[in-house]
């Protein structure tokens, strides 16, 4: 077994607390807390998540929190990784105005007001901190403060603690003042910036069938090799790529100032402009067919092209004029045959590429995104660990497997995953990182927490039982 998977946190305490696991997913919070606490209730609206949770923990989660909250039992700790879509940059960002998901925090508060747990641990996307110019976070903190809680928040990522994944999330810890005597002593775990390596999560026992299932496709190999021609040619001359690199703009000359959207231009105006590019343009083409010549990010513009986009376009056109003589004459024509996504490159390797051998996509982490082919250094999994865009590990010659995604999320090696690969990726992508939550929880356990079940206070952890990575 890999050293990383053996480096589990060491504990020594007989303190047992009770927790409820709201929006439980597949059980990231549960696995993090179960060493010192017993789950007395869990809920999640996703049926597939509930099945995985039950299989691993023997608890059948409830469904909708709006129903479950009426029957919540007494508990010491409340955890909730409540839905992030209303606050995420990739979502609608309506926040609490989202009529479907934005009101769920108030459901959490209904439970808090009723049961008054001693400890609350909330998790959400990084953007939650700045959403609505900070007002969203202020509402959450203000609501908890009104109920008698000492509230602290911090943005943390697993990679700050020697876990090979960059996944920045905001964690909010609320301590009920009357139940936690030394609440002001709470602090988030100290960032260690330990070294980490992507190979620490690798599964080396894949079958030949699995190797084939997750392998880089022949189409992807061909496209990556094609981009490598430009990468090697440019970097060997100590030149830089525009960020991002849009091949759709190479040799383009359409006007950046003028009538927008394109649909407001006359057919003749579109024809004349495209003719300037010396394209083979048929006079009998429809207006829709003429518009189709423009890159997709131009076709949908309403009004004028944003300044930032104009800047990117100009930088890419200039880059190509200065460097097109470095590659074969047919390089651009071949690139134009690729799907839109494969015509865009984000080279994020930077100074990590030190030799000619490093000027190679296959040496790095490859992330296929709508914004293009993102190539980054190897020491971490991208923030979207496994939702829809599954990272390709270049030196491995394949995608990250669900089990490796689970390793990156710090789940136990024997944690049972959903049999459906796509579903499993999504579940893991939505989960909290287990070891990161453990680190936070162990800091909480250093405090004197009053439990209503034995009328005692939990003692300070013994000196040898503090959070520690086994060497």
Q: Catalytic residue positions? A: 84
Whole-angstrom Cα distance, residue 428 to residue 292?
A: 38
Is the link from the previous residue into 277 a cis peptide, with omega within 30 of 0?
no
- Specify the residue for token string 């077994």: 1
Report strand pairing: 37-42 vs 77-80: unpaired
Is the link from the previous residue into 41 a cis peptide, with omega within 30 of 0?
no
Is the link from the previous residue into 261 a cis peptide, with omega within 30 of 0?
yes
- Strands (DSSP E) contained in 83-186 are 119-125, 149-156, 169-176
Q: Could you say which DSSP state residue 186 is in? A: -
DSSP letters, 136-154, are HHHHHHHHHHHTTEEEEEE
Are the C-beta atoms of residues 129 and 170 closer than 8 Å to each other?
yes
- Specify the residue for token string 């405090």: 447
Whole-angstrom Cα distance, residue 81 to residue 341?
A: 32
Whole-angstrom Cα distance, residue 54 to residue 36?
A: 20
């Amino acid at each position: 077994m890999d050293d990383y998977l053996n480096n589990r946190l060491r504990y020594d305490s007989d303190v047992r607390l009770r927790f409820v696991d709201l929006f439980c997913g597949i059980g990231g919070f549960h696995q993090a807390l179960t060493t010192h606490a017993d789950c007395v209730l869990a809920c999640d609206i996703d049926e597939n998540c509930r099945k995985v949770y039950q299989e691993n923990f023997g608890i059948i989660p409830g469904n909708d929190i709006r129903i479950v909250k009426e029957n919540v039992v007494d508990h010491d700790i409340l955890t909730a990784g409540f839905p992030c879509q209303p606050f995420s940059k990739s979502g609608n960002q309506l926040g609490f105005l989202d009529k479907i998901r934005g009101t769920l925090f108030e459901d959490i508060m209904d439970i808090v007001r009723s049961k008054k747990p001693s400890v609350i641990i909330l998790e959400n996307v990084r953007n939650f901190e700045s959403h609505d110019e900070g007002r969203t976070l202020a509402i959450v903190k203000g609501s908890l403060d009104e109920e008698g809680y000492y509230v602290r928040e911090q943005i943390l990522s697993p990679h700050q603690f020697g876990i090979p994944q960059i996944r920045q999330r905001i964690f909010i810890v609320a301590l009920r003042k009357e139940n936690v005597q030394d609440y002001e002593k709470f602090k988030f775990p100290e960032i260690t910036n330990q070294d980490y390596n992507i190979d620490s999560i690798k599964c080396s026992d894949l079958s030949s069938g699995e190797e084939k299932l997750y392998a880089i496709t022949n189409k992807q190999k061909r496209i990556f090799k094609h981009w490598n021609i430009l990468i090697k040619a440019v970097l060997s001359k100590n030149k830089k790529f525009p960020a991002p690199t849009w091949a759709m703009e190479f040799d383009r000359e359409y006007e950046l100032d003028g009538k927008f959207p394109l649909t407001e231009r006359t057919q003749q105006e579109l024809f004349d402009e495209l003719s300037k590019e010396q394209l083979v343009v048929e006079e009998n083409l429809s207006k829709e067919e003429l518009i189709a010549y423009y890159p997709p990010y131009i076709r949908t513009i309403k009004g004028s092209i944003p300044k930032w986009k104009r800047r990117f376009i100009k930088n890419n056109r200039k880059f190509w004029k200065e460097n097109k003589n470095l590659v074969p004459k047919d390089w651009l024509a071949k690139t134009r045959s690729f799907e839109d996504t494969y015509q865009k490159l984000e080279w994020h390797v930077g100074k990590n590429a030190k030799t000619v051998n490093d000027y190679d996509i296959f040496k790095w982490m490859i992330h296929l995104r709508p914004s293009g082919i993102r190539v980054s250094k190897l020491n971490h999994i991208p923030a979207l660990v496994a939702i829809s865009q599954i990272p390709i590990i270049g030196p491995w010659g394949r995608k990250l497997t669900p089990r490796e995604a689970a390793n990156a999320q710090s789940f136990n090696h024997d944690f049972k995953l959903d049999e459906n690969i796509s579903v499993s990726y999504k579940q893991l992508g939505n989960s909290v990182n287990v070891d990161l939550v453990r680190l936070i929880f162990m800091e909480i356990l250093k405090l004197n927490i009053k439990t209503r079940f034995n009328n005692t206070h939990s003692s300070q952890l013994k000196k040898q039982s503090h959070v520690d990575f086994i060497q």
